[in-house]
Structure 1
Amino acid sequence: MTVLVIGEALVDIIDGRRRPGGSPMNVAIGLGRLGVPTVLHTSLGDDAAGRLLETHVRASGVALTPQSRGTASTSVAEVSIDSTGAPTYRFAITWDPDPVDVAAGGYRAVHVGSISAMMRPGASVLDAVLDASRASALLTYDLNVRPALMGAPGPARARAEQIIARVDVVKASDEDIAWLYPDLPADRVIERWLAAGARLAVLTRGARGASAATATTAVEVAAAEVLVRDTVGAGDSFMAGILAALDDAGLLTAAGRGRLPVLDREELRRVVGFGIRCAAVTVTREGADPPWRVDVRSAGVGYA
């Protein structure tokens, strides 16, 4: 059985060079490279950019749903990198994918996130998949906020909370939370999400590492010490890493849902630590380039 990832795939233009991008696609690529069988449902045009993305996806061992190819132009993001390696984005994107039959796929987990979770009309496809998959799959969500496309924080927050109430695992960055909840500290937001229905909430803090919490346990894991080239795709690699770690533990299935709230501290640390190691490899590279599992093993990065 495979993992289904739903969301945007686009071409990042960095210093005039075209590179595959899009948060959900990066997560799918990361999962494929870490050895987790994965299918991506997205929206690709019949153009050069679409063919570039399809080749990239398949080269990482990820399949595309038949419905992923369409006639609209493939989406594009222009990326600027500042002196710290942090990216800013300017988008030319549409999100109107065809429906996908999850029953036919037999997926054991479904991952959603970022722009595609917010943008109409395609967000309705995502909602239908979450509703249809609840009984048969573990559901995961990465907020990956893009303020330029998500409007005001209030409506975006309400939409995010609609999804969080339906999923088992939610991941966000401290910057995501600061934009969505300017008047609440991050720990209160995590408590709110767990009370809403999430079984595991994970928060990334850039150079300060990451934390994770369930209703019974919380951990903090320090960042790996590496030379940062840029941070494009680091959060997506982290997300793929924690999903792969859950898979290694036999938890990336609907049957794993009940085990998430009772993970002990060491189990949580292993999950978060593997995500950090995956992100640490990515930040040493240019652009969104998730590691293969052998890269993580050979990188020699640890965590405290």
Structure 2
Amino acid sequence: MQVLCMGEALIDMLSDKGQPGITDATESFRKFAGGAPANVAVAVAKLGGESYLFGKLGKDQFGHYLHRTLEALEVNTAFTTYSEKGKTALAFVGLDADGERSFDFYIDNAAHTDISEADLVPALFEKPRIVSFCSGSVSTPDLRKVTLSAIDGFKAAGSILCLDINLRPAFWAEPSLAPYFIDETAKQVDVIKASKEELIELYGESNIDGQIQNWMDSGVSLVLVTDGANPVAFYSHDTNGIYPTPPVSAVDTTAAGDAFVGGFLFTLAEVVQDKASFVAWAGNFESIMSSLRFATRCGAHAVSKYGAFDALPSRSDIELK
């Protein structure tokens, strides 16, 4: 199946602080193509899958750079257009000694938020696909309206929907509304990926199990919960368990979650043909474990490299491990 990623592509300005000899006075930032949905699309393409990005870029030097880079990496840009009024968003990324990130977003008048009902062209819904998006797609009233319409269209087409929570409070016009709207959106999808840290921030540590159960009761087929270097937990209607992550020396965790999601969806796209075959797949312990084995290797590879697109692995990178 094809993987269609909906949402932002932006520029990560990555700090070199933390490298030997770099101080506040000498710190500099290097441009990297990024944005979680774009990262997932690139991850699938670099692994050999067929992926699309549905979103908007600024008609500026950064937007043109992103478009060229996506096409060079064989992401299909048929649904990637330019905003007539928005600028490409920037994310300045600081790294600590362990490669952990801190973000400062510059997203006022961002091109990726300039999505309207007119952008939901019929070709988006002409066939079943695996559709991946993040909570940023429901972070403002206008985005929520368009995203919910898109979800209806994708579901009618028989697509498999995956929500990576990927919580970015700076994206939210009203951050206090994030728990409610993420919950409402999550109840409409087939696969949810969240980090334990995100679930604690959104719903409180004591409520995590109940929240997952609520999602399962609403019809979600599979929930994946990552926890940094700790094992990945998974929950489906028929089975659950954990899978350990490979040991790795992390230098930059920017693309870790996106590499994991991309790797997971790539394996899914190889073995399912439609919604019915996905539901059967999601109830099989060995199938999930096999996909997690591949996806965790993708995540481990990504944290060993700097940047987002640049850090995402090819199929040979994973098979050689």
TM-score (norm 1): 0.91
2:56 pairs with one of 43, 52, 72: 43
Q: Distance in 1 between matches of 2:187 and 2:135?
A: 16
Q: Of the candidates 169, 178, 183, which is equivalent to residue 156 of structure 1? A: 178
Contact persistence 1:168–1:257 (CA under 8 A) = no
RMSD value, Cα? 1.9
1:165-180 → structure 2 map (5 Å cutoff): 165-180=187-202
User: Residues of 2 paired with 1:134 and 1:146: CA distance?
Assistant: 26
| Residue 24 (structure 1) aligns with | 37
Contact 2:193–2:225 (8 Å) recurs in 1: yes
**Equivalent-residue separation in structure 1 for 2:283 and 2:295 (angstroms):** 20
Change (3 A) 1:102 1:153: same
Give the aligned partner of residue 297 of structure 1: 319
Find the counterpart in structure 2 of residue 88 from structure 1. Answer: 102
Matched, 1:212 2:230: no
Q: Is the 8 A contact 2:46 2:312 kept in 1?
A: yes
Note if 1:109 corresponds to 2:130.
yes
Q: Could you tell me which residue of structure 2 aligns to residue 235 of structure 1?
A: 257
Query: 1:44 aligns to what SS in structure 2?
Result: strand
Aligned to 2:303: 283
Aligned residues of 1:168 and 1:198 also touching (Cα < 8 A): yes
Deviations 1:150-172 (A, max 9, x none): 36665211111111111101100
**Residue 202 (structure 1) shift:** 0.4
Partner in structure 2 of residue 3 of structure 1: 3
Residues 141-193 of structure 1: CA deviation (Å, up to 9, x unaligned): 10000123336665211111111111101100011101101153433332222
Once residues 42 and 75 of structure 2 are traced to their aligned partners in structure 1, the CA distance between those partners, rounded to angstroms, is 7
Q: Secondary structure at the match of 2:142?
A: coil
The Cα shift of 1:205 comes to 0.8
Mapped to 2, the partners of 1:66 and 1:190 lie a distance apart of: 33
State yes or no: 1:100 paired with 2:120.
Answer: yes
What CA distance in whole angstroms lies between the structure 2 residues aligned with 1:67 and 1:58? Answer: 10
The Cα of 1:215 is off from its aligned counterpart by: 1.3
Name the CA distance, whole Å, in 2 between partners of 1:152 and 1:181.
16
Distance in 1 between residues matched to 2:256 and 2:246, nearest whole Å = 12
Structure 1 unaligned spans of 5+: none
8 A contact 1:164–1:196 mirrored in 2: no
Distance 1:127 1:275 in 2: 28
**8 Å contact kept, 1:109–1:254:** no
Secondary structure of 2:8's counterpart equals: coil
Aligned partner of 1:225 among 241, 244, 247: 247
Distance in 2 separating the partners of 1:143 and 1:256: 24
Aligned equivalent of 1:194? 216
Aligned partner of 2:14 in structure 1 is 14
- Contact 1:2/1:106, CA 8 A, preserved across alignment: no
Cα shift readout 1:226-259 (whole Å, capped 9, x = no counterpart): 11111111000100111112122226x3233431
The two structures have a TM-score, normalised by structure 2, of 0.87
Determine if contact 2:53/2:79 at 8 Å carries over to the other structure. Answer: no
For 1:206 and 1:168, the matched residues in 2 are separated by: 23
